[in-house]
Amino acid sequence: MTIKRLPSYFRVLDELTKEDVEIVSSTEMGRRTGFSSEQIRKDLAYFGAFGTRGVGYNVSVLRRRIRSILGLDRTLPVALVGAGNLGRALAHYNRNQQQHMRITHIFDINEEIIDRPVAGIQVQDAREMGRIVADTGIKMAIVAVPREAAQKTVDLLAQSGVKAVLNFAPVRVDAPEEVVVKSVDLTSEMQSLAYYCR
């Protein structure tokens, strides 16, 4: 709900920081994010009132606050499971993007790519994943394995202490209540868009 929109606000606040803007109104944030100004005020008020009536929001204060709410004030280590086409693309993408979260471990079962580097990270044997993830205390994982392997992968990750999973396998996966799974199914997205192509 609100959490889903915070990253948009965060991105806009980054833009505004680069533009040396110090104060921003909910209306201007709305113009840049596509959400309504009331929505934005409600969202921000939900975590405590950060604005000044008659003035607006202090960009740097609000940015830091959202960063802290999202837990991005410390760089978050991420495990990537599956180094096929999609997994490798995600690894490269992540390397070129962010500082707030970084893929630090990559796992696969394919003998041919184990020990080889992908985006500067050595691929590790997926059979050791449980131990390594638990030992390093990794809390977030990206699953880019074939659909048949997805449920077992998520089971193992959950068991190893992972709290959030971004799943790219086109299948529904169950997880214990304390683990959040967000699925991105590219085939489904495209199929639903096909509806609008007549």
Long-range Cβ contact pairs of 44-52 (< 8 A, separation 24 or more): 44/9, 46/2, 47/2, 51/26
50 makes contact, choosing from a second copy, DNA, none, with CB < 5 to 8 Å by partner type, with: DNA
Tell me the closest approach of the beta carbon of residue 174 to a second copy, in angstroms: 8
Q: How many CB atoms lie within 10 A of CB 181?
A: 20
H/E stretch holding 183 reads strand 180-183
What residue has token string 């609000």? 62
67 token code pair: 């960063």
Residues numbered 48 to 107 that lie near DNA (CB under 7 A) are: 49-57
| DSSP one-letter string for 101-114 | EEEEEEEE--TTTT
One-letter amino acid for residue 151 of the chain: Q
Count of residues that bind DNA according to CB under 7 A: 23
> Should residue 172 be labelled a site residue for DNA when binding is judged by CB under 7 A?
no
- Provide the mask over 32-51, with x wherever binding to DNA is found by CB under 7 A and - wherever it is not: ---xxxxx-xx-xx---xxx
> Should residue 182 be labelled a site residue for DNA when binding is judged by CB under 7 A?
no
Indicate the residue among 2 and 136 with the shorter CB distance to DNA: 2
64 makes contact, choosing from a second copy, DNA, none, with CB < 5 to 8 Å by partner type, with: none
- CA 108-182-195 angle, to 5 degrees, is 110
Indicate the residue among 69 and 134 with the shorter CB distance to a second copy: 69
Tell me the closest approach of the beta carbon of residue 128 to DNA, in angstroms: 38
Which residues bind to DNA, rule: CB under 7 A?
A: 1, 24-27, 35-39, 41-42, 44-45, 49-57
